[in-house]
Amino acid sequence: MLRKSLIAAAAMTLGAASLSACGSSDSGGDSGSGGSGGDETITMGFAQVGAESGWRTANTTSIQDTAEAEGIDLKFSDAQQKQENQIKAIRSYIQQKVDVIAFSPVVETGWDTVLQEAKRANIPVILTDRSVDSEDDSLYATFLGSDFVEEGEKAGQWLVDNASDMDVDGDGSVKVVQLEGTTGSAPAIDREEGFNSVIGSDDAIEVIASQTGDFTRDGGKKVMETFLSSEDGIDVVYAHNDDMGLGAIEAIKAEGLTPGEDIKIITVDAVKDGMTALANGEINFIVECNPLLGPQLMDLAKQVVAGEEVEKRVVTEETTFTQEQAKEALPDRQY
């Protein structure tokens, strides 16, 4: 007990030291003079990917609501799925001397320069949701998010386990079309890799076409329309998120086919609209990806700003849903 409180006291002192160091740099007129209580507000700059999907909307709400509840001053920007916009936002957060920068990198590569600028300015960076592909892991404090390879594996495993029901036209092969997420993004790369690594064990399953729908409903619909006119005998759609799967449903219906029966659908995310389609039988299986990262992100931010050691990788826990499980889970679904 005593040991614990000593450690806590030491951590607090450390925190106070690094906070005041931060507040006093540049002697800028910041509001850190709150008397002896030392309650300095943490300022976080957050560079969001965009508003491309139901997942993203839930993620943004979780971050904004938690920041407000925790008294963290959040500067928020929406990059509209463009890396250059995210880089601009990060540079402006550096200029504003925020205490911590958090962002969800739209694509994996091309971040080293701007992250070095943050490092030189002594502003810690937290990656949330998506990771970067960089040799230098000193450029960020921690990465909080899902294991996308595992999500792809879960999708592939369900397909392998149910392969006999998936050969809708009974021609002896399961023909899959894939709706990929944003090209170059971690979830698109990893969900494809995980899926392929598992379906490789079954010779009857083949991916006959694959194209990006940019994680949007409209993108999924358009790509599916193309697939329906160019490919014969599609049995299964594997969509890297619910929104693209929901777009595919519209395209399938427009062809006079029944989604979930004539063409089976597997997606990732498990947001409300996806879960509703699953419960209604229009989607067949969803791998969950949890967008409610706000509470863990704000905890990590406080620790990082206080100079405490944090895990370099924090993985969120997730499950999967069949149609029956979706019916049960839907009434309590938060997002």
Which residues sit at the interface with ligand GYE, rule CB under 6 A? 52-53, 55-56, 129-130, 187, 215, 241, 243, 268-269, 289
- For residues 175 and 147, the answer to whether their CB atoms sit within 8 Å is no
In the numeric block, the tokens 């990060």 are attached to: 90
Closer residue to ligand GYE (CB): 167 or 269: 269
| Closest to ligand GYE by CB, 191 or 302 | 191
d(Cα 303, Cα 145) in Å, to the nearest integer? 17
Give the 3-state secondary structure of residue 320: strand
**15 or 187, CB closer to ligand GYE?**
187
Distance of closest approach, residue 248 Cβ to ligand GYE, in angstroms: 14
Dump the DSSP string for 98-152. Answer: -SEEEE--SSSSS-HHHHHHHHHTT--EEEESS----S-GGG-SEEEE--HHHHH
Give 47 or 289: the residue with its C-beta nearer to ligand GYE: 289
Q: What are phi and psi of 14, to 5 degrees?
A: -60, -45
- Choose between 129 and 282: whose C-beta lies nearer to ligand GYE: 129
Whichever of 277 and 289 has its CB closer to ligand GYE, that residue is 289
Residue matched to tokens 């029956």 = 324
Residue 131 CA to residue 143 CA, distance in Å, equals 7
Q: How far is the CB of 124 from ligand GYE (least distance, A)?
A: 22
Q: Tell me the closest approach of the beta carbon of residue 181 to ligand GYE, in angstroms.
A: 6
In the complex, the smallest distance separating the C-beta of residue 116 from ligand GYE, rounded to whole angstroms, is 24
216 CB contacts (<8 Å, ≥6 apart)?
Answer: 52, 53, 243, 244, 247
CB of 244 to ligand GYE, least distance (A): 8
Least Å distance, CB 22 to ligand GYE, is: 30
The number of angstroms, rounded, from the C-alpha of 244 to the middle of its chain's C-alpha atoms is: 15
Find residue 268's DSSP bridge partners: 287
Query: Which of residues 66 and 185 has its CB atom nearest to ligand GYE in the complex?
Result: 185
Q: Kindly list the distances between the CA atom of residue 55 and the CA atoms of 85, 151, 268, 269, in Å, as whole numbers in the listed order.
A: 20, 15, 10, 7
Closest contact distance (angstroms) between CB of 271 and ligand GYE is 8
Burial class (CB in 10 A: 0-12, 13-18, 19+), 101: buried
